[in-house]
Copies of this chain bind each other. A is one copy, B any other.
């Protein structure tokens, strides 16, 4: 298989974007990425789009064709493939794009992720979110993602894996970084007290332990590594993109203080990349809830189990710490337009490895990792990139 490079990245502002439609957002991110790659549309020969629920959020299925159409690609019959895996939709679309270029099936691929969540009622949004869990055995019984993650948090606290304060510190870290990201939904640093005293959502998780509902889109352009210099002086090499599954329902796991699918995807990805967790300088992890941020750090091997929470609290996940985690702000502060998240993670890692991350730049970052999760660890994609 061919080696693959990221040659362009683009992202919209994330937030409650009531004056932008789904198609506006998708096109904005795609054009930014193509401009960043100094690319004209005529060179693109494949598109992958991560999206969870355009069918319920905007009453529109078949958004591959929609994006191909509105980007002008349909005039050349460019194939456009939509991928859905709840929160992992974007990371999975990225992996399929990497596969398309690596295999030789395509030469220049645009991978986009987009979600327009705020045009429906809160009730409708909640119903969509719940449908990423096991509808039959979880959602129907009243379980929500907040309550499932609250159970994980409780168990972690009980087993001494992390304290309430340590879990809360994931949000503090995210907000500190989000304040430096002009595209983030929340750009205000917060204190531990803000998280601990926020209104309760599902005990022990409060409002600031939960990522927001967001609109937004992100895109990257891929091509073979040996062609990348035609487009950019700063290509980013994709070393690995590994995808795994676990049970859909949380209660069927052997343990809930670890996501086995993250650990398995990480093992595969490190092996393919030929590096270990100690080499990662910058990581975007799927902190849909703060506790997921703790689990990610331990399951990816970035910190030992039982030490991740302490490390975050001590600033080891901040810019300048052992490994800079969620420099974009993460799902909590950058925002979480579901299908866009996995692609936005790749955008942030690429910017860091190119040295383009402005005020939130991690100095001399060589290796970066993105971890994207669907459901409560039911689907995980771990991708590793290298500055070249």
Contact = CB atoms under 8 A, between A and B. Distances in A.
Contacts of A372: none
Interface stretch (A128-136, A174-182, A275-283, A308-316): A128-136
Contacts of A378: 62, 65, 69, 74
A330 to B, nearest CB: 21
A127 interface: yes
Interface string A76-87: 011111111110
Interface in A194-222: none
Contact of A55 (B53, B74, B82, B249): B53
A120 interface: no
A61 B128 contact: yes
A316 B89 CA distance: 44
A381 to B, nearest CB: 8
B62 A379 contact: yes
B243 A79 contact: yes
A40 to B, nearest CB: 18
A264 B76 CA distance: 9
Contacts of A135: 58-60
Interface residues of A, number: 61
A135 to B, nearest CB: 4
A246 interface: yes
B245 A79 contact: yes
Contacts of A136: 23, 60
Contacts of A73: 245
A73 B243 CA distance: 13
A149 interface: no
A163 interface: no
Contact of A66 (B55, B79, B92, B248): B248
A375 interface: yes
Contact of A245 (B69, B84, B244): B69
A113 interface: no
Given A82-B83, A127-B59, A248 B65 contact: yes
Nearest to A61: B131
B55 A128 contact: yes
Nearest to A85: B64
A218 to B, nearest CB: 19
A340 B344 CA distance: 32
Contact of A65 (B58, B61, B246): B246
A180 to B, nearest CB: 32
A82 B64 CA distance: 13
Contacts of A128: 55, 61
Given A99-B99, A248-B69, A85 B105 contact: no
A261 B61 contact: no
A52 B102 CA distance: 27
A347 interface: no
Contacts of A78: 244-245
Given A64-B85, A92-B81, A261-B77, A55 B131 contact: yes
B61 A132 contact: yes
11 contacts: A1-B105, A55-B128, A60-B134, A64-B245, A65-B248, A73-B245, A74-B245, A74-B246, A77-B245, A79-B379, A81-B243
Given A69-B249, A73-B245, 9 more contacts: A52-B61, A55-B128, A61-B132, A62-B85, A69-B134, A77-B246, A78-B245, A81-B243, A103-B105
